[in-house]
Structure 1
């Protein structure tokens, strides 16, 4: 058995691996960048080694520094987690070359699954169903257009080295093919350094169902049932579940056999996921699924499989890497109950799901869920890495119970200091179609408006905020023998999304307050279990943070408490300043001083949270000044480009 393990990763997955390793008596070594010097995974491990700068290329992608850390600490094995170098065959070979164990598949398996076109040809040879399409080497636009005609529209263009939706375009008609192909290739070249694509039949009402597989060095391979990952936005998973809704035993057997054949075809060892695209509808058919790709690592969503099987997949990984046989045979693995996982991110949903940063001034998780997290209260969500705060996982004897627990767990989760997607996740957990099991990859986009709709706060929510802002939410003070001739009056000003409320607070005692909102008076009194507003309990707890108050009532309601002496100067500039919406790296400046631009023209490309964001002109006019250069690191709200306030109009 491995005695000391280096985790070549960070955040929640590093914490997750450390906990299992510790339970097995394995010592752990964490690695960290400048930005992660005080991170949770560093504190949790037995030892920690500094790698380098905050940028991934200087730290978590620096294979030489990782191997040097392993040698220096006497680690016997390296666990890559997911992301970073987890699917890099060159790193796997480098680990083996210095005599260390790589906790994952052999480099050959990773290479075979690394390119989508080659992987699909291999799967066809192994008898695994593959979506009808063209995966050939000839990449001329004419040949690709001919193949699209043969397949039949609509078709899907996909980058062969792609992932996360980059280099992917749906094409509904022949006349749109050339433009879509050029766009997909340009995006693929930028993202992956490889412009080759494949063309496939577009599956209507598609569902994304994947099989967890495991192999060992003794030639054994099993599957641990399926996960449904159909709830996606822009090809990014949002909520996953196991088992898949509507799954029949016949189809599960067919998909399981196909997944195991895929693993055996490449000599797979360790944990992996075989992903299938499934034709949705009222009934799932055993002939209606096709191989999409194979992820040669542990998946973010592995906890739902752990919940329904009762198994620890990281323990299995470490035992297999130590040379043991798989702990169980296929017929010994059981699937019990139902599980969900929701990905809680720091992101601004109303602004288009922009990644966000900030210090977690307040963080509380619900005890109804397993909460896998790599951050603690007081930690920073930095611009350097994925902005995940936690994975919220629930399990129950039925799908309905597990989903109800997820919804309540999200309601009870409290995050202050950064915007999050909690309200969006809650709305999704209550979605009628999702609750009924009618899921496909287009559900979120079809109903996006209702899922991200901005509601107005209720009077009870405003009253909660006013109580906290006026200090009345604190424990009561004993004023025995003291009284006022008249109630103490004050006004609390709350701001949210450009709207302002002036709320009257009449303090009549330590346990009695009258709240006046738009001429309506709400009598409030302190009860044994908190404040009563009118005759009802307060809708949720309130937390007072720097310059803001948060009310956690079904969703987080954050209200700014404006400084009455503050003066806004930005308004005087109208739409003339283009600011950074978040901290990031200026990847490219697309304009220069004196240039005329039109509304919507791209001005600056900003890279943050592993994504590129194009900042555009909000009006037509002349660029007065460019305030940054490519390669500059900027903070949120830094001014990047200034438009001439005196000159507006269409560019010629």
Structure 2
């Protein structure tokens, strides 16, 4: 199938959903052809909505097109325009949401005007921008537009994190320990009691009903909440950000006193998608007495609160600045339940595990279903898995069912009338509600590939229809509301997984501005949501280049696969990524990371239960592989092996023959090994898959599988199989292919004649006399051929040797499916250093600091505040220098060393910068020492010599 019309070509994903064509009048009554939606989101969900609307017979939709991308980067127009060629249905706006409250309100009015002026009667927001903005939703409803998503009341009760927590508590749903009312406590600290609150209302002329203030039922906090709501409506602030910060210090100090080993997570009530969250380090990461450490840990709360408010753009006058502070469960797994309701009924559709994430950004998401868990439990019991593994699987099933029950209860309590997600953290047998996302999620396809919804006429069971798309479910509910009978969920595939293909570098840092020149077509079993980037020119069938603008986020595409088991699903994903090639100018993606990670789980244990802490230590382990790989001279190692083989020859004739045999293997062996050493993520996956094929003892590698077979599988793993007429650069070279085929054929024939397939047994046999069926001359020829084919393959031992040197497999899966993370991999200094090994900083002169990435440059924490550094400023290592906004995330950049600013080379706020651009002229406190070419060669030869000595 091809990616540009995957919905239509794969009935397993979506069937023909034009209900208007049904022969049943009851089914036909649920058609939605009269809707004319305006799509006001971007990315893969916009293209998905367009496809779904087309299939539903909704043909008059329009889209917003932000000018922000194309203004910032040339040739960055939305790829969806390749499909939607009618300019009257494309409506341009400066951006989708605005930079502050005033601009947001302006954008809302603009969108309403566009809808009214062009005859649109409904709005689809997907999972971006203002999808969970109560003001936006209510404005659309008040303007007479049908909002395809949860209504404003649901967004208020469930979408705002503080309200959601209160609702959860009142409905018996487990929540994370912490506070949800920092802004309320801040107001109360200033105004003390009821008299103070009444004076505040009078002084500020706030519209608060006197009966609320005089109520004997409402608590002082509830009355304060009503006052805060009135202040938002009036657009004024009742406290400063500094006062909020002081209150947060008090709150987190109490939490640290009770939980000194835990970190504290702070998040804006309106955050989402990873934005608006920061984590305060635990007191034990500081020095001093416990009391002193708590003071130091709590002191950072105001700084992080300001970062949070800036990131979610809630730092304007009258914005709701409430910030939650809650215990960060260190062993947490992030799981979520898909919930669907129409205001009358509410059902769940299984779960998703989203624990594999970094910086609150999800990377790999896998389904969690009752069907798959039961199948896995049965398999574990049949193969007599460790008791702890079986217990974990059974526990997960219990927790899943509890979360689904609570999610349905919570959805009913908030009157859910669309699609939403009930998010939890799971810690062993316990789970805690975090928040409800009142929108469709990026990873919603993970759910809809496992379950569908069957709607049946309550008066005639013969009449029914099935919905396999959550976008379609949203449209149906928006159009027909409580007319829809409660559906039953029907199983499709047991398991699915989604890999987010992002524009990030090897250290998973955002990388904006790349151009995709080519992208291979989707392969069998691949489900690719790429917002239309893969769509070829319809006339020439040529791939059309696309500029990844990066003004909004780093996501390029969502790659999905399905299967009967989680292993089937992961193996399918591995095969998809193996065959995927994506290339271009200044282009970085996390495709290699995903290939390594997926194969890490396939090789180490597919049912592992990683926590949200896993990815950074994993990246650190991969960085250590790269650090060791950087010390290896592959060509030198190969030549040294050749010399050793020649030296051990019995006579000159044999020495010459061996020399020729080894030389023939030069590129056959060095090319894939050099490739793996250059791509540590792929090396991680290969090592994990091959862990059982070798042992390492004091640096010496012993293979339990024929290295020739290992080499052949390596070429396949690298997608370098021989293809007649294909470009030599991307495949095994023809003469190497001939040699490898000859070697494989030799061993297959030999194993067949000897009736033996075990490599250890075969090696032992090849050291003795001729077995039955072989005369001395033939056996001598066999031994010579064996020596010739094996000569030089010792080079492959470099790979497991490096794993042993870095203790790569100390990151391992325990019997209970938890992952053992060595303490060394949690060291923040090592983590930072390995990130720089994976992605070395841009080369800079000794008197300058350059940008480590492209993005939007900000010299200060927030508008109106002082710049971090100015000309003449002295800075110390670790001091903040500037903020760069890259793909919707704000990253504070700290000084790598101490020095003095001589000149600031970038002036102003929100200035676009590029990677490697000089930002400051500086005088360093210490002069940097650079490694010479001779020093680099000596270092590599020394490290390579240690490997050779262990494997001579």
The Cα of 1:179 is off from its aligned counterpart by: 3.4
Equivalent residues of 2:399, 2:431 under 8 A apart = no
State the alpha-carbon separation in 2 of the partners of residues 445 and 583 from structure 1. 23
Picking from 388, 392, 401, the partner of 2:559 is 392
Q: Which runs of 5+ in 2 are unaligned?
A: 1-31, 71-75, 187-246, 285-289, 310-314, 374-392, 453-467, 534-543, 636-673, 679-720, 741-841, 861-866, 929-952
Q: 1:526 to 1:371 in 2, by over 3 A?
A: closer
State the alpha-carbon separation in 2 of the partners of residues 151 and 643 from structure 1. 43
The Cα of 1:148 is off from its aligned counterpart by: 4.7
Counterpart for residue 536 of structure 1: 737
State the alpha-carbon separation in 2 of the partners of residues 261 and 70 from structure 1. 35
Query: How big is each residue's C-alpha offset from its partner over 1:141-170, in whole Å with a ceiling of 9 and x where there is no partner?
Result: 445533554567535342352442623325
Counterpart for residue 138 of structure 1: 185
The Cα of 1:177 is off from its aligned counterpart by: 3.5
Picking from 349, 356, 359, the partner of 2:515 is 359
Once structures 1 and 2 are overlaid, which stretch shifts more, 526-535 or 359-368?
526-535
Once structures 1 and 2 are overlaid, which stretch shifts more, 289-298 or 589-598?
589-598
State the alpha-carbon separation in 2 of the partners of residues 302 and 608 from structure 1. 25
2:349 aligns to what SS in structure 1? strand
Equivalent residues of 2:96, 2:129 under 8 A apart = no
Counterpart for residue 295 of structure 1: 437
Establish whether residue 65 from structure 1 lines up as the match of residue 110 from structure 2: yes
Picking from 262, 268, 272, the partner of 1:154 is 262
Counterpart for residue 424 of structure 2: 276
Establish whether residue 171 from structure 1 lines up as the match of residue 282 from structure 2: yes
Counterpart for residue 450 of structure 1: 621
Establish whether residue 212 from structure 1 lines up as the match of residue 338 from structure 2: yes
Q: 1:459 to 1:409 in 2, by over 3 A?
A: farther
Q: 1:392 to 1:497 in 2, by over 3 A?
A: closer
The Cα of 1:118 is off from its aligned counterpart by: 3.0
Counterpart for residue 61 of structure 2: 28
Establish whether residue 52 from structure 1 lines up as the match of residue 93 from structure 2: yes
The Cα of 1:172 is off from its aligned counterpart by: 5.1
Q: Tell me the TM-score normalized by structure 2.
A: 0.54
**Higher-strand-fraction structure:** 1
Equivalent residues of 1:357, 1:383 under 8 A apart = yes
Q: After TM superposition, list the pairs within 5 Å mapping 1:388-467 onto structure 2.
A: 388-417=555-584, 418-432=587-601, 433=604, 435-452=606-623, 453-454=625-626
Runs of 4 or more, structure 1, over 6 Å off, are 58-61, 456-460, 495-499
Establish whether residue 382 from structure 1 lines up as the match of residue 382 from structure 2: no
Q: 1:434 to 1:277 in 2, by over 3 A?
A: farther
Establish whether residue 620 from structure 1 lines up as the match of residue 898 from structure 2: yes
Query: How big is each residue's C-alpha offset from its partner over 1:276-307, in whole Å with a ceiling of 9 and x where there is no partner?
Result: 11113xxxx3xx21211100000000011111
Q: After TM superposition, list the pairs within 5 Å mapping 1:314-329 onto structure 2.
A: 314-325=471-482, 329=486
Equivalent residues of 1:424, 1:451 under 8 A apart = no
The Cα of 1:602 is off from its aligned counterpart by: 2.8
State the alpha-carbon separation in 2 of the partners of residues 619 and 199 from structure 1. 33
Once structures 1 and 2 are overlaid, which stretch shifts more, 190-199 or 437-446?
190-199
Counterpart for residue 230 of structure 1: 355
The Cα of 1:196 is off from its aligned counterpart by: 4.7
Picking from 417, 439, 451, the partner of 1:309 is 451
Counterpart for residue 565 of structure 1: none
Q: 1:153 to 1:200 in 2, by over 3 A?
A: farther
State the alpha-carbon separation in 2 of the partners of residues 616 and 171 from structure 1. 21
RMSD: 3.5
State the alpha-carbon separation in 1 of the partners of residues 594 and 559 from structure 2. 10
Equivalent residues of 1:273, 1:299 under 8 A apart = yes
Counterpart for residue 212 of structure 2: none
Establish whether residue 584 from structure 1 lines up as the match of residue 856 from structure 2: yes
Q: 1:240 to 1:60 in 2, by over 3 A?
A: farther
Counterpart for residue 42 of structure 2: 10
Counterpart for residue 106 of structure 1: 151
Q: 1:408 to 1:633 in 2, by over 3 A?
A: same
Q: 1:182 to 1:102 in 2, by over 3 A?
A: farther
Q: Which has the higher contact order (CA 8 A, sep 6+)?
A: 2
State the alpha-carbon separation in 1 of the partners of residues 408 and 55 from structure 2. 29
**Higher-helix-fraction structure:** 2
State the alpha-carbon separation in 1 of the partners of residues 479 and 577 from structure 2. 38
2:131 aligns to what SS in structure 1? coil
1:402 aligns to what SS in structure 2? helix
Q: 1:325 to 1:414 in 2, by over 3 A?
A: farther
Picking from 635, 638, 645, the partner of 2:917 is 638
Q: Tell me the TM-score normalized by structure 1.
A: 0.76
State the alpha-carbon separation in 1 of the partners of residues 469 and 552 from structure 2. 26
The Cα of 1:328 is off from its aligned counterpart by: 6.9
The structure whose Rg is larger is: 2
Q: 1:355 to 1:48 in 2, by over 3 A?
A: farther
State the alpha-carbon separation in 2 of the partners of residues 167 and 430 from structure 1. 31
2:169 aligns to what SS in structure 1? helix
Counterpart for residue 216 of structure 2: none
Q: After TM superposition, list the pairs within 5 Å mapping 1:227-266 onto structure 2.
A: 227-243=352-368, 246=393, 249-266=397-414
